[in-house]
Amino acid sequence: MSSVFFKSVRLWIWSCFAAMFFFAVTPAQVSATDAAQQEVRDTVVASMEAVWTGKAFAPDLAQKQQKMRSMLDKGLLTKAELESIVEQTIPILMNRHITSRYYLQEISGRIDGLFGSHLTWEEIKKRVWKEMASIVKDGDQMVFKVGTLAPKGTPWLNVPEKMLIPRMEELSDGKITLKLYGGGIMGEDYDILRKIDIGQLDVCGATTLGMLAASPETAVFMLPGLFNNYEEIDYIYKKFRKRIDAGFEERGYILAALIDTGHFHIYSKNRIDSLADLRKQKVISCWGTVESTIYNELGINPIPVVVPEVMSALSTGLADTTLAPAAWMLGMQAYQYAGYYITPPLLFSPAVVILGVRAVERIQRHFEASDTFTRNVQELLVFEVGLFEGAWRDQIRTYDERALNAFKTKTGMKAVTLSAADQAAIAQAGLRVRKKLAGTIFSEDLMNDVLGALEEFRANQAKP
């Protein structure tokens, strides 16, 4: 072979070495890159675990987060890379760490602080629900069966039908949903609760009676004259939420939504201009201890009737006067037996949506999920339902007001206001009800805490 050939070969070899020297990644560089990527992964995992479990960020973790955000801002870490790391983290969270609805209420703000504008909780939540739905095989569904007295066309059913169910099915690709049994086809509240206890139903959209059966101490919120407006109601709902939740959980139920049954007015076939007139009427009692106690304090001897028989009692003349929210009077068409109603309302009552613990156990067995995974499913579902509470309350309150207006404008029903002396007598009777019931169906401490919170709220509202 010619010397020219060997020179060419040597030149080619040296060219290769030169290229390797100038352009190749050295082992040290590879190691540094891997270390940086691992640090980002570790930072994301540790941060997500802290957010998921409601823990504060340690100072050293906060420093690493700042470094990660700097990499995101400079494009050294792409959104796609971040999403990939988060997606790999979600199964770890779902299977190893239990979150709660209370932590989830703060999660949107904490995620914003963690990732800035690069990745939001709404984007992450879609991946979380995808992981939730991963235990459901193709062709199967995770269905929660809901029983309620609420008839179709009312806000108690409109919100789940038109807002909640579509959202759940969107997030889970149709694998997680609710099946609604409205209009009392599963019986009244007591029947629905019994069916939840034996596993035939999962959820109860409960009126006053179901709420009291599932957590008797909620009667404290029905005390006559307790609330002056919706702002006070919402304030107490929020301030005492964990305490209310605990009351249901003690009896095997999980409070998913705290909404309204509504303001209860006294409706009568006959005109009532005074307490003396009211005592002469055939008054129904069907809403529990608070109602029967206030009647007793007012000198009224009511006729005990179960809710499903109220319409029969009114239509047959067995009774001519009842206490109820306007929405209930409209939904049950009981307004046709009333020509008058007394204003202001006598009392207010919440309504609740409660999930039975047995439903969670059924999900765990059917889908062969771990206890931790199932608990996370429970909390994520309860949290998602809770996001609709504001819209739910607004719709119920608007419906209640419109129903009352419709009674006046379309049926000729007339509002009656009692004298100042009679209203004062009702207020005094309400105070006696508080003393009688405190320490019985609800604790005196709870009642005093609620009254104290309202006093504080009113004082703050009165400040200029």
pLDDT tens, residue by residue, 215-227: 999 999 999 999 9
Residue 14 within any structural domain of the chain: no
* pLDDT given at position 151: 85
Q: Please give the structure tokens belonging to residue 356.
A: 């039975």
Residue 3 within any structural domain of the chain: no
Does residue 282 share a domain with residue 254? no
Does residue 81 share a domain with residue 49? yes
53 within 8 A of 103, measured Cβ to Cβ: yes
* pLDDT given at position 31: 53
Domain encompassing residue 75: 24-133
130 within 8 A of 91, measured Cβ to Cβ: no
* pLDDT given at position 379: 97
DSSP 8-state secondary structure symbol assigned to residue 154: S
* pLDDT given at position 424: 97
Does residue 201 share a domain with residue 124? no
Residue 408 within any structural domain of the chain: yes
* % residues pLDDT > 90 (the chain): 87
Total domains in the fold of the chain: 3
* pLDDT given at position 14: 42
Kind and range of the H or E run holding 126? helix 121-133
Average pLDDT over every residue of 162-177: 98
Give the pTM: 0.89
Give yes or no for residue 249 having a pLDDT over 50: yes
Give yes or no for residue 56 having a pLDDT over 90: yes
Tell me how far apart the alpha carbons of residues 136 and 143 are, in angstroms, rounded to a whole number: 11
Q: Please give the structure tokens belonging to residue 101.
A: 């609805």
Where residue 177 falls among pLDDT bands split at 50, 70, 90? very high
* pLDDT given at position 6: 44
Count of C-beta atoms within a 10 Å radius of residue 361:
13
Tell me how far apart the alpha carbons of residues 277 and 258 are, in angstroms, rounded to a whole number: 36
* pLDDT given at position 463: 86
With a CB cutoff of 8 Å and minimum separation 6, the contacts of 83 are 119, 123, 127
The CATH number covering residue 323 comes to: 3.40.190.170
pLDDT in tens, 275-290: 999 999 999 999 999 9
* pLDDT given at position 10: 47
* pLDDT given at position 331: 84
Lowest mean pLDDT among 24-28, 80-84, 123-127, 443-447: 24-28
317 within 8 A of 284, measured Cβ to Cβ: no
User: Does 183 or 129 have the greater pLDDT score?
Assistant: 129
* pLDDT given at position 20: 40
Residue 15 within any structural domain of the chain: no
Give yes or no for residue 9 having a pLDDT over 50: no
Does residue 279 share a domain with residue 237? no
175 within 8 A of 136, measured Cβ to Cβ: yes
* pLDDT given at position 22: 37
The overall average pLDDT reported for the chain is 92
Where residue 33 falls among pLDDT bands split at 50, 70, 90? low
Beta bridge partner(s), residue 206: 352
Domain boundary among 133, 162, 185: 133
Lowest mean pLDDT among 1-15, 94-108, 273-287, 390-404: 1-15
Q: Please give the structure tokens belonging to residue 213.
A: 């059966």
Does residue 433 share a domain with residue 310? yes
pLDDT in tens, 322-347: 999 998 899 889 999 999 999 999 99
